[in-house]
Amino acid sequence: MERTFAMIKPDGVRRGLTPEILARIQRKGYRVVGLKQMVIARETAEAHYGEHSERPFFGELVDFITGGPVVAIALEGENAIAGWRGMMGATNPASAAPGTIRADFATTMGENVTHGSDSSESAARELGLFFAEGELLA
């Protein structure tokens, strides 16, 4: 069993895609062990995307991700880290495979609807950043 951090980004929430995305997660069979709607604090966003701090798009990325409510989700399931990344599709929606969330619901790299941890180290770090221990189901 693996745990991963998933997020519906502000564009997805604003566009009313939360139920559709949660339905896909449930149909896949992942267990939702943490779920909350929140506005991300700037410091949290900068820590979350720390690996990109030197990239030219970093400021825009932090503005975007803090610019409206997100839905933070802790997922559990077999191979959940790579599996959820697969359901999201490639970072650039133009290259995302048909049937993936980013192919189906996004047109631009900057606003690509969902986030998913890219490794077990990222998953542990990001789950710790967004959820207190008591907020996650055993």
52 is an active site residue? no
Question: Closest CB to ligand DAT among 59 and 128?
Answer: 59
Nearer to ligand DAT, 91 or 137 (CB): 91
**Segment interacting with Mg ion (CB under 5 A) among 19-27, 72-80, 82-90, 113-121:** 113-121
Active-site position among 89, 115, 116, 127: 115
Cα 93 from Cα 50, distance rounded (Å)? 22
Of the candidate spans 10-18, 27-35, 39-47, 108-116, the one that interacts with ligand DAT by CB under 6 A turns out to be 108-116
State the catalytic residues.
115
* Binding-site entries for ATP: 9, 57, 85, 91, 102, 112
* Binding-site entries: 9, 57, 85, 91, 102, 112
